[in-house]
Structure 1
């Protein structure tokens, strides 16, 4: 009986470790080296999000989300150019900082990278 319990526990632990992996996000099209790139992954509105950030670099930066437990999830990111931890909007409610969103699914290859392009709706 103890052996059966041990095997069941081992299987459960294997599945948790298998799905809680890091996700590399390559962000392209960054317009300046000001501020930071803020990244969030979430399965749905009820799940606890996984956050990461990196110092902004003009053009491309890679951000690593650690311990992402879901197979399918949504990645949202924005370029916090002024360092206020918010996606700033203009008077019409249009974002003035870059952002991107993408639905993702983990591949069998754990080293795969999600490639996303930053979108700036309002240019200076």
Structure 2
């Protein structure tokens, strides 16, 4: 009987320590207009191969409205771990990031880490550790060309 109680207590402690979760808030800056929506994808390690390529591999996705050229997104009950975020302003609400004929985005976009350069960032460039009850990230929108 004592062994069973010890086992149950150990399982409870293990479960509490391995299932820590928190809330992630993303503040989007640099939005140039109120047109459309902000489409957000939160990728974890398991879905990293699809980062910026296949939104279906995202851990969670959200679409939020823009108000006064501002937007914020809240993800709740996120398990602690390593993540990366990609987002874009879907100005014409066609559910995709519009691009030129050579693949350069014409709608504003951003990633966690606010990476620089013209090459599409990889998961490793945009990743961050999430291991707190409440975390706030700021992502600045970028645009290369306007339509």
Q: TM-score, normalised by structure 1?
A: 0.83
Higher helix proportion (structure 1 or 2): 2
Q: Is the 8 A contact 2:23 2:135 kept in 1?
A: no
Name the residue aligned to 1:121: 144
Q: Secondary structure at the match of 1:25?
A: strand
Q: Is the 8 A contact 2:107 2:143 kept in 1?
A: yes
Higher strand proportion (structure 1 or 2): 1
Once the 2 structures are TM-superposed, how far is the Cα of residue 64 of structure 1 from its aligned partner?
A: 0.7
Distance 1:40 1:11 in 2: 32
1:54-103 CA-to-partner distances (Å, cap 9, x unmatched) read 10234321101223224221111111111111111121211111111122
Length, aligned pairs only: 122
Once the 2 structures are TM-superposed, how far is the Cα of residue 15 of structure 1 from its aligned partner?
A: 2.9
Q: Is the 8 A contact 1:50 1:66 kept in 2?
A: no
Distance 2:143 2:86 in 1: 14
1:75 paired to 2:75: no
Distance 2:145 2:74 in 1: 27
Name the residue aligned to 1:62: 72
Distance 1:123 1:48 in 2: 27
Moved over 4 A (4+): none
Q: Give the 5 Å matches for 1:1-124.
A: 1-18=3-20, 20-44=21-45, 45=48, 49-102=59-112, 103-108=127-132, 110-124=133-147
Query: Structure 1 residues 22 and 83, CA, compared in 2 at 3 Å: closer, same or farther?
Result: same
Cα RMSD of the aligned pairs, angstroms, is 2.1
Which stretches in structure 2 are left out of the alignment for 5+ residues?
A: 50-56, 113-126
